[in-house]
Structure 1
């Protein structure tokens, strides 16, 4: 009897732990009904708890207009869950031309309105889409 009770307790404990392995994910993907891109296999924004993980927005050029377009796309991604750039806590920027990005950094700064996140900027040889020259991804926190 003691062995049976021990096995039953172990099964209940395992079941409880197994059920807790799933997390609730809310998704947004450019107003796409499936809320994800199945050909490339990604989602533009995924919300887990109060955190937004925002896939990179890209531009084919590192110019003031190209940078502005990237940040406008990111702004739309943030707004999909009611957030703004003031909710952004981390920015990762990838470019094939870091010096030009540094030159036009003022365009990016406008979106943050003086409330800058932690940031990492990296020069790379190419991006997923070979014609792209700039990609920026964000992590944002929503109020609890």
Structure 2
């Protein structure tokens, strides 16, 4: 059985999908864009700020589900330009303590709303 997770502390879906789904003891988030949940607007077009906002949104969703960043087992990072990888990585590591989760990172042709980065995660409860 699956359970839908939704919080106003992260941006609402911009399409027909949920912020996250719990199945058993696993949480699967949708890709989080660098949208400020209070304004509904994309943050400045700068990779560090956008990465930080994506991860804050992930954190809010996990907390709503009863989990946290330390329980992430896998992340997927989508970048509009792999030249932003180093700066994204600098911010990314600020959100984790101890062992880092497994991760994939890809350059994609384009992201929704022309974001520089989008991040999705899989975590345990």
TM range (shorter): 0.7 to 0.9
* Structure with more contact order per residue of length (Cα contacts < 8 Å, sep ≥ 6): 2
User: What CA distance in whole angstroms lies between the structure 2 residues aligned with 1:106 and 1:116?
Assistant: 13
Given candidates 94, 99, 102, the residue that maps to 1:110 is 94
CA RMSD in angstroms comes to 1.8
Q: Which residue of 2 aligns with 1:41?
A: 16
User: What CA distance in whole angstroms lies between the structure 2 residues aligned with 1:104 and 1:114?
Assistant: 19
Is 1:30 equivalent to 2:13 in the alignment? no
* Structure showing the higher helix proportion among its residues: 1
Question: Greater CA radius of gyration, 1 or 2?
Answer: 1
Given candidates 119, 134, 137, the residue that maps to 2:117 is 134
Structure 1, unmatched stretches of 5+, are 1-23
- The alignment's TM-score, normalised by the length of structure 1, stands at 0.71
Counting matched residue pairs gives 113
- The alignment's TM-score, normalised by the length of structure 2, stands at 0.81
Superposed displacement of residue 119, structure 1 = 0.3
